[in-house]
Every structure is written in structure tokens, then in C-alpha cells.
Amino acid sequence: MPVAVKGAVALRKSLRQFTPDLAKQLPKEMAIALKPVVKAARGYAPSESQTLSNWKPRFFNEGRFPTYNASLVKRGIGYKTSPSKPDRRGFRSLARLFNKSAAGAIYEIAGRINPDSVFVKNIKGKYGSVMKGRNEMEGRVLYRAYEEDRGKAQDGVIKAIEKVTAKLNKRASVRG
């Protein structure tokens, strides 16, 4: 669930300018909070032996629907701790979890709009996967791992920002 943190981008600019050591420490502490979610999400991705028959590799002329490759799907799940570009409303994400592979994205959200399709029924029957989350934040891999994390990653990122802010303020208030 998104949380509004004001001044975090300005904090990161100040860190880079005045305390490069703290600028390097912030992404490391944010990564500590995000790594457990990524590890759990990679564990929820099905293996090659569980692949549906239509997702197996095929000749190029047989279709464009992406094939399922477990190693690519697992490698495509990750995190970033650098601020994103502002969206249409001006919001940025300070840390984000992502799923880059097309097959992983299909597996993640299949059934969100049409839960009674044959493809979704085959996925549920073959993998026995469960969708967790609410509304736009509902999925089988990354959203599920985030939901089961129960906000620890979000709290960890916010604590990392607060910790580095406190260190920066402490250094700024010291007079020599």
C-alpha cells in the first residue's frame, strides 16, 4: 500500500551533497527491508515441471504468447531503491518491487478481471496458487509475498529513511 513521505527526495539530494557515506547507507538499509519479500516472491513462482502445456517453448511461427521460463520469471522479480520519475500526479516511489518478465506478469495477475476463464481455471488446477491482496494490489507472486509480509518491508523502508535523517540532523547540529 502506498505511503506518502514528504521531503524524502530532498533528503536524498542532501545526503549525496553533504554526507556521501549516509547516501550509500540509505539504499543498503532499504534493501534489507525489501529482500525478504523478493525472496518469498521468487519461491511462489512455479517451476518448469509445473508449466501448463501452452506455456512450454514452441517454434517462433506458432504464436507470440510468451513462453514460461521459470528461471527468467524468478530473475525478473526484484527491487529498486532509487527514486522513480514523477508520475502524472507528481508522485514518486522511493523504493519499489517489480516483476519484469511477461510470463511472470501474466501469471501474477491472471484472473483479476475474468476469474472464470479456462486459462485461470487451468492455473488454479495445476499450480494450486492463491491470489492475495486487494483490488489493484492482488496477485499470485509479488503481491502475495508483499501481503504476507504484513507491512514489514514498508515499515523497514520508512525506518531506514528516519534513521538516516536522524543521523544527518545530528551531524548538522554538531558545532566544532
Domain ranges of the chain: 8-100+151-173
pLDDT of residue 151: 87
pLDDT tens column, 125-137: 777 677 777 776 7
Rounded mean pLDDT of 3-30? Answer: 84
Pairing of strands 77-80, 96-99: antiparallel
pLDDT tens column, 76-130: 999 999 888 988 988 888 889 999 998 888 888 887 777 788 877 777 777 767 7
pLDDT of residue 79: 95
